[in-house]
Structures are given as C-alpha cells and as structure tokens.
Amino acid sequence: MDKTTKTITSNKSKIGTRYMAGVAMLSALAFVLQYLEFPIPIMPGFVKFDFSDLPALLGAFAYGPLAGVLVEFIKNLLHCAVSQSATVGELSNFILGAVFAGTAGLIYKHKKTKKMAVTGALAGSLLMGVISFPSNLFIVYPFYRVAYSMDYPTIVGFYKAILPSVNELWQCLLIFNLPFTIAKGVISTVIAMLIYKPLSPILKGRNQ
C-alpha cells in the first residue's frame, strides 16, 4: 500500500468516525430535547412543542440526509423505552422528523449554499405538515382513542373549546395540527440558520 492510498484510507476512517460520533451526539441531544416540551395556548393541552427535530436538521446539513434520518430514528428508538403510546407516538414522530430532515438534507446536498439550506428546510417543514395529517388521522389518534378509551367527540371537544365551529377530527387536524407542524419546522429552520455556521467546524472537524 503506497503513501497516497494510506492517506486516503486514513482520511476515510477519520470521516467515518466523525460521522458516527456526530450522529450519536446529535441523537442524544435530540432525545434530551424531546423532554423539553412547551404548551401552546392555541392548541389543546396534549399537543406540545419541542425542539427535538433541530439536531436532526443540523445532522442533515453537516453529514447528509441519511444522517438526519438516523438522528430521528435513534432519538425515537431511545424514547420507546419510556413510551406512553406503545411506540405509536414514536413511529409518527420518526416519520414526520425523517421527512423534515431528509428533505432538507437532500435539497442542500445538491448545492450547499445558505439559500438552498433555507429552501430545503422550508420544503421539509411544508412536507412534514402535509404528512402529519394522514399520520395523525390514521395512526396516532385511532391509537389514543383505543388506548385511553376516548371517543372522537371527546377528542374533538378539546379543539372545540378553542374553536367552536369545528365538528370533525379531520377539520381539527387540518386547522390546528397541520399549521402547527409546519410552524414547528420553520422555527427549527430559523434556529438552525443562526447556529449552524458556528457549529459547523465542530460537527465536521476543526480542520475542515
């Protein structure tokens, strides 16, 4: 093995190690952030905001779309150990987060500029919001209906307390949950744009 080959192999090994360490660190951070939930005044009490998708977005920018998806997967896999939804909530969270981070990472990968990063993250936010509608309607809420013996009129009642004109679950999800999910992605996008550049040398290695 000549000197050039050894150098290439060594560089690949360093990149691989950095990739795994970065994904592990961001996954741990996302897991912790998942516990820092905040109630939203215009949403029912059981719908809360957290920043746990932010590390996945940073990972998608730093290491590629797959890294963002891996952060979402590991975060929710860890959270399954303390799940109160028989992993249904974690499944939905993974689907939405993977769509968000994966979309952002794919778009940014083709042209690594700030404009493309913003475009990718906003596209991911929009798509995450759209996917949240069938995810909540067909996965999450049917589970909660059975697990907590709550019929749909009771669930809709939480939303009616905020907006009396809603009468169906799909209306609630369309009016409340979908925009909320998009807004959640947009907030993560704004924060990522503010902190990614200072964090980039740490995530990618100080020599890059």
pLDDT tier, 2 (very low <50, low <70, confident <90, very high otherwise): low
Better-predicted residue by pLDDT, 118 or 201: 118
Q: Are 153 and 166 in contact (CB under 8 A)?
A: no
Positive or negative: CA dihedral 144, 149, 152, 155: negative
Collapse the DSSP code of 51 into the 3-class scheme (helix H, G, I; strand E, B; otherwise coil) and give the result.
Answer: coil
Please compute the mean of the pLDDT values over residues 102-116 and round it to a whole number. 95
pLDDT of the residue at 86: 75
Considering the entire predicted model, what is its pTM?
A: 0.87
Q: Which residues pair with residue 140 across a beta bridge?
A: none
CA distances from 198 to 149, 165, 191 (A): 48, 46, 12
Angle between helix axes 114-135 and 178-204 (nearest 10 degrees) is 140
Give me the mean pLDDT over the 37-64 stretch: 89
Two structure tokens written together for 84? 């109160």
Whether residue 65 is predicted with pLDDT greater than 90 in this model: the reply is yes
Q: Is 167 helix (H, G, I), strand (E, B) or coil?
A: coil
Instruction: Find the DSSP H helices in the chain.
Output: 3-33, 54-63, 65-79, 88-110, 114-135, 141-147, 152-160, 169-172, 178-204
Q: Residue 14's pLDDT is what?
A: 54
CA quadruple 33, 35, 40, 41: dihedral sign: negative
Average pLDDT value for the chain: 88
The pLDDT of residue 15: 61
Share of residues in the chain with pLDDT > 70 (%): 91
